[in-house]
Amino acid sequence: MEHKPLARTVVARWRHARIFGLGDRASPASFTPGLCLTPQDPEMGIEMAPFIVKHDSESLPASLTIKARGDWSFPFEQGDVPEFTASEGHTLPPSLQEANSGLGQSTGPLLPVSWQRLVHDPALLDADLEPEIVVLQDALQLAGHRGRLVQTIRLIRERFPAALLWAPGLGGPDNCAILAWFGLDLFDLRRSQQAAAHGVLLTRDGPRQVDSTSGESADISTQISEWKTSLSATRAAIDAGTLRELVEKQALNSPRLVEHLRRHDALLSNSAPLSMHVEKGQRFRCHSRVSREDPLIQNWIHRIEHEYMPAEIQRETLVLLPCSDRKPYSSSQSHRFFRSAVRDRRVHQVMVTSPLGLVPRELEEQWPAAHYDIPVTGDWDDDELATIRRLAKALVERVGYTTVINHSGIEFDFETIDTRPDGVGASSKAACDVLREAVESVSSKHMREKAFLMHSFRSLSRWQFGTDAWMDGLRVGGKPPRWMLLKDKQQMAQWHPDSGRFSFTKSMLPILRETGTLREVEIGGNSQWRGDIFPGMVVNAPSDLKVGEEILIIRDGELLGSARCRAAGWEWNGGAGRLAKSQHRL
């Protein structure tokens, strides 16, 4: 049978989770996360269940066929229905990974994969292998081996970024959000069918007995209703960037899910597909202790503890301040009081907070410092205090401040000048007067705002790009809050506080390349570059690009312009959908 590629595009993405639109990109007919139905399953709308699957075991090894429920192959005419068939081979338990069954699974558009195959089959390393759908055959067994499920899903997800990933028998309304967070796209009704047979209702909150007093039923129609609600919630959360919140709620449905989430966080702690910038309204809601293990938080903590350095003019005096509910902190009333008390701009202001530990003043508009929400009780738990104290000690030792003024109300094991009288609020007049006196006792010099801003922007540049060389010869001009960086009278860049980024002009791009400020993506082709960046255009790209990161577009060594990443680096090698939005063309 002729291979008809499945037309798909990425409608929305958040970390490893994505919403694929299936069919014509201009008007997709179905979406993922979605369901694979068997011929015996009840009928469902195509928008929720994009595929029909058939398992044939009359001859061995058994075969699997997955057929789309619409004309989703170009040119999208009647009969352009993608259908894929593969031999399932013989799958041994993950515990027998050293064994080799001798009869491997098929290699093609439908790719059956098991732990044993990942260990033994070199065909999976073929650069030309681009499956449409990957089936993780032994997902149920892998879920019983510590760490292997999340490790396997991540490996497959990043190896085949354009493929749809299905783990038969694993998903349910109670875990589809967390499995989508790991990278799965397709699910099935197997667990719901089993629950219905036992008179148990498999809900978004886990399996439970039906409520006889309300006439509730555990029949398959009720089970499917739970599926629709759970899939809709998962899709909405991916689109809004709030999937992590839903995942943390869903993880509480079983101890095993909590374990999987913790291992997933640990696995991605140093290499997660993180965002560099997000939209102004994006929030990171840290409502539980589990949120602190999110790779986004751990990445911030690691960089503050081991990499961050303030501007050279701010390495004499450190002031530790409490955070505020309002973000960025400087927009809050309490921090207006603090800033009026700390008039010398050379005094380094650093906020103590949870879950980030420390947030330097010049980084307060960065993601996630300007975007997190956390319940405020006025009390710190032991983990929060330990993180804050560890980071503060590391910063003081690395920078070598002459004086540390502590207005945070937290005790530290290094020498500080405490400015919080007992029983007095940090933003009270009495406390701010003590803070002002302490600052003036060690520093009385003042610096003009624009001269100070240049130092602050350099520190920001080092945080974002690892260098500030592109700023040589520039000066700060314009008016707050969108300050401009000028060369003579020509604007070269502008600061956007809402998104925490520098916006560069077209004339700045050659300098950004010369100084190695922005990373480069090489594209192919001979025609003039128009539009955005899609997978077929990419020749070479860094594997750790972040969403929101600005990049330079290169062809045959020539600088063509710049673009802004919409996808993390793992999607750039064979992914799907728009990878970056163009910014400038030279």
Convert the pLDDT of each residue in 133-143 to its tens digit.
Answer: 999 999 999 99
Task: Determine which helix (DSSP H) or strand (DSSP E) holds 135, and give its type and residue range.
Answer: strand 133-136
Q: How far apart are CA 203 and CA 176, in angstroms?
A: 11
Q: What is the pLDDT of residues 101-125, one digit of tens each?
A: 545 678 899 999 998 888 888 888 8
The pLDDT of 367-395, averaged and rounded, is: 90
| pLDDT exceeds 90 at position 166 | yes
Token pair belonging to 194: 């089993």
Quick one: CA torsion of 359, 362, 366, 369, rounded to 10 degrees?
A: 20
Q: Which band of pLDDT confidence, cut at 50, 70 and 90, is reported for residue 375? A: confident
Q: How far apart are CA 21 and CA 33, in angstroms?
A: 10
The Cα-based distances of 299 to 275, 276, 280, 570 in angstroms read: 11, 11, 21, 18
Q: How far apart are CA 493 and CA 403, in angstroms?
A: 35
Q: How far apart are CA 35 and CA 396, in angstroms?
A: 54
Q: What is the pLDDT of residue 289?
A: 85
Q: What is the pLDDT of residues 220-240, one digit of tens each?
A: 999 999 999 999 999 999 999
Q: How far apart are CA 96 and CA 250, in angstroms?
A: 32
Peptide bond into 39 cis (omega under 30): no
The pLDDT of 438-456, averaged and rounded, is: 88
**Tally of CA atoms within 13 A in the half-sphere of 205 that contains its CB:** 3
The Cα-based distances of 317 to 92, 426, 442, 447, 538 in angstroms read: 63, 19, 8, 15, 48
| pLDDT exceeds 60 at position 468 | yes
Residues in the chain: 586
| pLDDT exceeds 80 at position 191 | yes
DSSP 8-state code for residue 36: E
Q: What is the pLDDT of residue 444?
A: 67
Contact 454, 475 (CB under 8 A): yes
Q: What is the pLDDT of residues 542-576, one digit of tens each?
A: 999 999 999 999 999 999 999 999 999 999 999 99
- Average pLDDT over the chain reads 92
Q: What is the pLDDT of residue 32?
A: 97
Q: How far is CA 580 from the centre of its chain?
A: 16
Contact 565, 549 (CB under 8 A): yes
Residue 274 phi/psi, 5° resolution? -85, 165
The pLDDT of 70-89, averaged and rounded, is: 87
Strand 403-406 versus strand 372-373 pairing type: unpaired
Q: Which band of pLDDT confidence, cut at 50, 70 and 90, is reported for residue 28? A: very high
| pLDDT exceeds 70 at position 332 | yes
Task: Determine which helix (DSSP H) or strand (DSSP E) holds 246, and give its type and residue range.
Answer: helix 243-251
Q: How far apart are CA 125 and CA 160, in angstroms?
A: 11
- Tell me which amino acid residue 565 is: C
Q: Which band of pLDDT confidence, cut at 50, 70 and 90, is reported for residue 215? A: confident
Positive or negative: CA dihedral 193, 41, 51, 3: positive
Q: What is the pLDDT of residues 40-69, one digit of tens each?
A: 999 999 999 999 999 887 777 888 999 999
The Cα-based distances of 264 to 57, 259, 554 in angstroms read: 35, 9, 35
Q: What is the pLDDT of residue 173?
A: 97
Q: What is the 3-state secondary structure (H, E, C) of 110-134?
A: EEEECHHHHHHCHHHHCCCCCCCEE
Q: What is the pLDDT of residue 422?
A: 81
Contact 485, 493 (CB under 8 A): yes
Domains of the chain (ranges; CATH) run: 8-87+107-267 (no CATH), 284-442 (3.40.50.10630), 448-515 (3.10.450.90), 518-586 (2.30.130.10)
Q: How far apart are CA 507 and CA 586, in angstroms?
A: 9
Q: What is the pLDDT of residues 258-311, one digit of tens each?
A: 999 999 999 988 676 788 988 888 888 888 888 999 999 999 999 999 999 999
Token pair belonging to 402: 């002459």
Number of helical H runs and strand E runs in the chain: 14, 29
Residue 372 sits at the vertex; the CA angle it makes with 371 and 377, to the nearest 5 degrees, is 145
Residue 557 phi/psi, 5° resolution? 80, -5
| Global confidence as pTM | 0.92
Question: Of 133-137, 186-190, 422-426, which gets the smallest average pLDDT?
Answer: 422-426
Question: Of 131-140, 198-207, 373-382, which gets the smallest average pLDDT?
Answer: 373-382
Positive or negative: CA dihedral 229, 231, 234, 236: negative
More confident residue, 416 or 99: 416
